[in-house]
Amino acid sequence: MEFVSDSNRKMEILTKPYIILNAAMTADGKIDTITRRGAKISSEADWSRVDELRAAVDAVMVGGKTLLNEDPRLTVKSPELRRKRLEAGKSENPLKVGIVTDARISAKARFLNDGPAEVVIFTTSQASSETLHLLKETGVRVVLAGDELVDLPQAMHQLKTFGVDRLLLEGGGTLNASMFAEELIDEVQVYLAPVIFAGADAPTLADGAGFGVREAVPLALENIKILPNGGVLLTYLAKYKGE
Ligand SMILES: NC(=O)c1ccc[n+]([C@@H]2O[C@H](COP(=O)([O-])OP(=O)(O)OC[C@H]3O[C@@H](n4cnc5c(N)ncnc54)[C@H](OP(=O)(O)O)[C@@H]3O)[C@@H](O)[C@H]2O)c1
């Protein structure tokens, strides 16, 4: 797929992967409680779906807060699915991608060590040379992309050049909002859990500064699946206004 980045100024056409946002969300739109410790929202059945989704993509990506605070493994859990990937000539696990302003990640982090999996960190000039050196020593591919925040269109383009055709975005709410703002997300899969977390400061599917009505991202409903525990899986396609 191609898209136009910053159409008023650069008219630069960049390629990017097909990007699926997956999240587990409460019925009141929260993706965690106010304590932000990665509350369990998914059901067992939904975990299997997410595992299959991970097994079907080339890369899985998270934002800095999710990465640094929760240290997710982002690997495919099912041995069967990993075996099928290997049989298909793919790596056992998809590439792990982190979007981190200051990449202060411990060398012992599960994100870096659980696998086997290749790791790419997109970071900014705020990361110290010592941090960058340590990451490179652990075999991580580090890409400097921006000063204040990671330049997401450039990062997605770079991933495409690394051979990533399908990318799974697994949050959190700030990165999701930035990815919507840049019109980078193609598909949204949301597991809607039958529970309310409440809390004005609890993270939601897309946080950030928020869009006005004119900038709101329209979605087209593709599928609804009701799960045995009363949860609902919603699948949408993003229909950006310029498309
Ligand atoms: N239920 C679910 O499906 C699910 C999935 C994932 C996460 N979560 C929850 O989401 C919460 C974390 O979300 P969050 O919104 O606090 O953080 P986040 O989206 O995980 O990470 C955002 C951080 O990424 C870094 N970043 C670098 N460049 C960026 C860019 N261009 N755009 C956006 N971010 C950029 C920034 O900070 P740094 O300085 O930190 O790099 C930014 O603060 C946690 O409570 C977690 O449990 C839920």
Please report the sign of the dihedral spanned by the C-alpha atoms of residue 139, residue 75, residue 153, residue 90.
Answer: positive
CATH number, position 129: 3.40.430.10
In a domain, 53, yes or no: no
In a domain, 50, yes or no: no
Q: Are 159 and 16 in contact (CB under 8 A)?
A: yes
Residue 122's domain spans which residues?
12-31+61-238
Q: What are phi and psi of 161, to 5 degrees?
A: -70, -20
The total domain count for the chain is: 1
C-alpha of residue 121 to centroid of ligand 1, in Å: 14
Q: Is residue 117 part of a domain?
A: yes
Position 200 in a domain:
yes
Ligand 1 neighbours (beta carbon < 6 A): 23-24, 31-32, 36, 38, 41, 62-66, 68, 70, 99-102, 149-150, 152, 170-175, 178, 203, 207
Please indicate, yes or no, if residue 189 is contained in any of the structural domains: yes
Kindly report the protein residue whose alpha carbon is nearest to atom 45 of ligand 1.
Answer: 36
Residue entry with tokens 């993509």: 57
Would you say residue 125 lies in a domain?
A: yes
Whole-prediction pTM = 0.94
Cα 243 to Cα 234: distance, rounded to the nearest angstrom = 22
Instruction: Tell me, yes or no, whether 7 lies in a domain.
Output: no
CA of 88 to the centre of ligand 1 (A): 32
Atom 40 of ligand 1: nearest residue by CA position: 64
Closest atom, ligand 1, to C-alpha of 146: 28
Nearest-CA residue for atom 46 of ligand 1: 38
**From atom 24 of ligand 1, which residue's Cα is the shortest distance away?**
64
Per-residue pLDDT of the chain (243 residues; tens, 9 = 90+): 233 344 443 445 689 999 999 999 999 999 999 999 999 999 988 999 999 999 999 999 999 999 999 999 999 999 999 999 999 999 999 999 999 998 889 989 999 999 999 999 999 999 999 999 999 899 999 999 999 999 999 999 999 999 999 999 999 999 999 999 999 999 999 999 999 999 999 999 999 999 999 999 999 999 999 998 899 999 999 999 777
- The answer to whether 33 touches 202, Cβ cutoff 8 Å, is yes
Q: Please, what sign has the CA dihedral across residues 199, 203, 204, 206?
A: positive
Distance 84 CA to ligand 1 centre (A): 31
Query: Does residue 172 have a cis bond before it (omega within 30 degrees)?
Result: yes
Q: Which of 31, 61, 104, 143 best tests ligand 1's pocket when mutated (most atoms within 8 Å of CB)?
A: 31
Question: What is the per-residue pLDDT for 242?
Answer: 72
Q: Is residue 103 assigned to a domain?
A: yes
Ligand 1 mean position to 206 CA, how many Å? 10
Cα 68 to ligand 1 centre (Å): 9
